[in-house]
Structure formats: C-alpha cells, structure tokens
A and B are shown apart, each in its own frame.
Chain A
C-alpha cells in the first residue's frame, strides 16, 4: 500500500462558520437600546454611542445585528491611522463606525445614534491648521507667479 494514500485517508471534518446556530440573546436588547436612543435623538436631539466590543456575543451574532440594521444611503471611508468605515444603516440616525488600524485590525466598533458621527466632520484643530496651510500655499503660489513674470 503506497504511503502517500494514507494521508488522504484520514477523515477530516470541518465545521463551517454558518452551521453554528447559537445565540446569547443579546441582539434583541441591543436593538431595544438603539430604539430608545433613536427616540431620544428624535425628541431631544441627544446622541448616543454603543460600544459593540464591550458586549459579549457568540460568533456570528454581531454579524446578524449589523445585517439586520443593513446598509443605508451613506457610506464613507476614513483614511486616518488606517481605514475606518462610517455608514448610515437603513435606519436614518443609526450609523455604524468601524475603526481599523494600518494593519487592518479592528480597534473600535460602534453604533452611533446621531445626526452625523463627529468623526466625519472636520475638526477644529485641523481647520485651524488648514487656515495656516492655505495661507502658506497661497503665498508660495503668488511668489511663483510673481517670480515667473519677472
């Protein structure tokens, strides 16, 4: 009997990711929390952030929650210290914010119930830095133009 066949004779049974049909039951409470937060946003303009990484969930459960919320009209990619994805779900006011580092590892996973996640908006310090930089860029350009015409 050739030895090479023996390796292939070893039965290997792999379990696919989808066959594990088990829940912690945490999805319904999270949806309730989102519901309450949406009401607060609608009535009092108050924002809420839920840290998904702080809640213990069975494998696949988080995916189910995000699938339930779905993908809405807005999808934005951030390129700051790695990629981040900010997307509105099919429920306007409910956003998902996923932060990744330059290694592609997830460092933050949030559900934000807000008009627009703060991280999308331009930040004050950066705007101030822009004012300076555009001033410098303009003066450089003017110097080049005046230098060129001379």
Chain B
C-alpha cells in the first residue's frame, strides 16, 4: 500500500468506520442508560429539578476554596488542556474544512499563530497531567489501563498535528494520514471508555443537582 493509498483510505473508508462506531456507540450508550428510567419519588418536590440541575452543572465547573493542592493542580491543568485542545480542534481553518465535510456547515477560524500556541499548551498540559498521574501516589493507585490508553489516544492527534504545522522533516503525506487515523482511533474509543464524559458529564451533573433540588438541599 503506497502512502497515497493509505491517505485515501483514512480520508474515506476509515472516516466512515470511525464515524459509524462513534455514532452507534454513543447513541446506544445514552439510550440504554436513559431508558432504564428513574426511580419515582413519592415525596413532595421541595425545589425545581431543572433549575437546580443546571445550577450544579455550573457550580461544579468552578474552582472552589475547598480544593486540595492535588485537586487544584488537576483542575487548572485539566482546564488548560481541555480549552487548548478544543480551540485547536474546532478553530483551526483546516479542521473546520473537515467539519464542513461532515456537518455541511463551517464557522470562522482563528489565526494559525493562535492555534500553534494552543497546540503547544495542549501538549504541555497533557504531559503535565500524565506526569502528575504517575508521580502522585493516590492518582497512581486509582489509575488503570484505560486511563493510560485514553491519554495516548488523545496525545497522538495533538503531537502529529503539531509536527505537521511545524514543517518538520518527516514525510508530510504519511504524517497527515497518521494524524487523520489517530483522530479516527480517538473517535472509535469514545463510546467504550471514560472519554464519553464529553457527553455524559453534563447529564451526570444535572442529575445530581436535580436530586438535590427535589430534596430541597443545596445543589
């Protein structure tokens, strides 16, 4: 298989497979959970579920004074990584062209220099959180294979993308194909791993807030 064959495949069949697994996986996962249904509470509701649910979604996103050093580091580094990653993914002109081909519409891009900065920030923050996960005893004890796997799957698109924009001497065509493939692997992994938090996070936080609100306690 030539480099061109490989690139043509990842841009075509590869993307179809990745998208199919991602959509089937995520919709299946969401439905099979949602349709279990919630336990009906026979008490009088003491607060509005929706308002409290949304309140918790917001409050849990903030940094708060009760955080430990470990928690503070995790939150700050985590935020930097997530913001940098999402900006790089959604506001690089070339990526927007990809989304245009998937969704049918695009949006304005940010200057490439900004994206270079966010890409670097994302990589550095990701390495920092891995370092912390390995060196902090509590985190190390809690971490399993899936945690490290998802780290690598997230790291590869970032590092290959960065190498592409910095005009490294690596063969461009092959590297581009690997970059697209790494994104497809990430897509496939999302429904089967903790990465699905990108969708379930909001739902879970809302649910917690809703319960509290129904009971009339702080959400």
Check whether chain A touches chain B (CB < 8 angstroms): no
